[in-house]
Amino acid sequence: MAARRTADRGKGAEVLHDGPTPKHAQLREILRELASAELLPGSPVPSERDLAERYGVSRLTVREAVGQLVAEGLLVRVRGKGTFTTRPRVDAQLHLASFTEDMRRRGMRPETEVLDAAEAIPPPSTAEALGLGPDQSAYWLYRLRKADGAPMAVERGWYHSAMLPRLLDHDLTDSMYTLLARTYEVQLESGTQTVLAEGADTETARLLGLRAGSPVLVFRRIATAQGRPVEDMTSWYRGDLYQVTMQLDRDPSGSGHNRPSMRPV
So where are the chain's domains? 2-85, 90-245
Pick 199 or 70 by higher pLDDT: 199
pLDDT the model gives residue 9: 42
Tens digits of residue pLDDT in 208-244: 988 888 889 898 999 999 889 999 999 998 877 766 6
Arithmetic mean of pLDDT over the chain: 81
| 73 neighbors 63 (Cβ within 8 angstroms) | no
- Work out the average pLDDT over 50-59: 91
Question: What is the rounded CA–CA span in Å between residue 55 and residue 46?
Answer: 12
Q: Domain 2-85 - what CATH class?
A: mainly alpha
The letter for the amino acid at 66 is V
Question: What is the rounded CA–CA span in Å between residue 236 and residue 155?
Answer: 6
Whether the pLDDT of residue 28 is over 80: the answer is yes
* Cβ atoms < 10 Å from Cβ of 107: 7
Instruction: Cite the DSSP H helix spans in the chain.
Output: 2-11, 23-33, 48-55, 59-72, 99-105, 124-130, 176-184, 202-208
CATH topology of domain 90-245: Chorismate lyase (3.40.1410)
pLDDT the model gives residue 7: 34
pLDDT band of 252, cuts 50, 70, 90: low
Q: Which span out of 52-56, 89-93, 127-131 was modeled with the highest average pLDDT?
A: 127-131
